[in-house]
Structure 1
Amino acid sequence: MAMSTTEESIDVDVPVHVAYNQWTQFRTFPRFMDGVRRVDQIQAAFTHWVVRYGAKTYRFDAEILEQVPDRHLTWEALDAPRHRGTVTFRALDADRCRVTLRIGLSKPGVTERAGDALGLTRRAVRRSLTCFKEFIEHQGCETGTWRGEISKGHVRLDAGQDRPVVPTWPTG
């Protein structure tokens, strides 16, 4: 599958653990990510997304392939639109971090190729990061946490975490 990759970074004025913790709260993505209408956490390593891109609405599942607290999270869409992404977090000092989002999109059709040629994907990634920055800096703290690790399909809870792996927020 041919892939087109876009990568953008932004410096955020919160500690790295706050930015990372917020990013793991997928249900809040519609509040800062353009086109995202809904995200449901199905299991610790699986999410279901409803995304609007142009005039089309897509519903797809994504698997979290690797997740390391305060470092990175990598996922892959299991349905169209096929893509793979990684978000990384790097502390700049005690109160600031850099968030880098890298998305690889499949190129199955003319619409997707035209959007990429016009820079729509890059602008969408940049806008998502800018809105995330505004969201978390305005909040000042994360709306929740999940400090477990995921590697090669294996989920490991944080040593201090005694709750179920799957969050218990409503899905309907």
Structure 2
Amino acid sequence: MSSSIVETVDIKAPVAVSWALWSDVARWPSFLSHVRRVDPLDARRFAWQLSLPGADKEFVAELTEVIPENRIAWKTIEGVHHAGVVTFHRLDDESSRVALQIEYEPQGFVEYLGALTSLDSVLANYDLGEFQKLAERTARGDF
């Protein structure tokens, strides 16, 4: 059973700000609540450590597409099956929309339950909300 998550958030920050924050791997644990670490292995591959309710996961993901201020796509090459894309859309000079799409194969009871109850989408929506706060603070110069 494959599961799909699609979530969007509108941000009071230009696309350039949203892009700069999301494309900085070191910042991911500050807005992705389940991400404990992301370690670059080279320019395109990253080792992830996740802590999810009832399960810790580790995997290696590879960037499959990077178009500055437009999209970042990835897929796993070791560990769990997972692929996704985040896209950046200009709404106007001062605001943007970030869309996140993830495809994954639930493994174990907790992940199946999360997929069945849409808890995975709730978590993704929460993380996008955290990203929104960070991007809006950055755009305002509130560090």
- Once the two structures are superposed, residues 103-143 of structure 1 have per-residue CA deviations (whole angstroms, 9 ceiling, x without a partner) of 1011343332211112111011101100000011112279x
Partners of 1:52 and 1:109 in 2: CA distance: 14
- Once the two structures are superposed, residues 56-109 of structure 1 have per-residue CA deviations (whole angstroms, 9 ceiling, x without a partner) of 221211000001001101001223332100000010001101000001011343
Partners of 2:128 and 2:96 in 1: CA distance: 13
Aligned length, in residue pairs: 141
**Counterpart AA for 1:133:** Q
Q: What is the root-mean-square deviation of aligned Cα atoms in Å?
A: 1.6
Query: Partner of 2:9 in structure 1?
Result: 10
The residue matched to 1:7 in structure 2 has which SS?
Answer: strand
Which of the two has higher C-alpha Rg?
A: 1
| Closer, same or farther: CA 108–50 of 1 in aligned 2, 3 Å | closer
Query: Partner of 1:156 in structure 2?
Result: none
1:25 deviates by: 0.6
**Counterpart AA for 2:81:** R
Any unmatched runs of 5+ in structure 1? 143-172
Query: Partner of 1:78 in structure 2?
Result: 77
| Structure with the largest fraction of helix | 2
TM-score, scaled to structure 2: 0.91
TM-score, scaled to structure 1: 0.77
**Counterpart AA for 2:125:** R
- Percent of pairs with identical residues: 28
Any unmatched runs of 5+ in structure 2? none
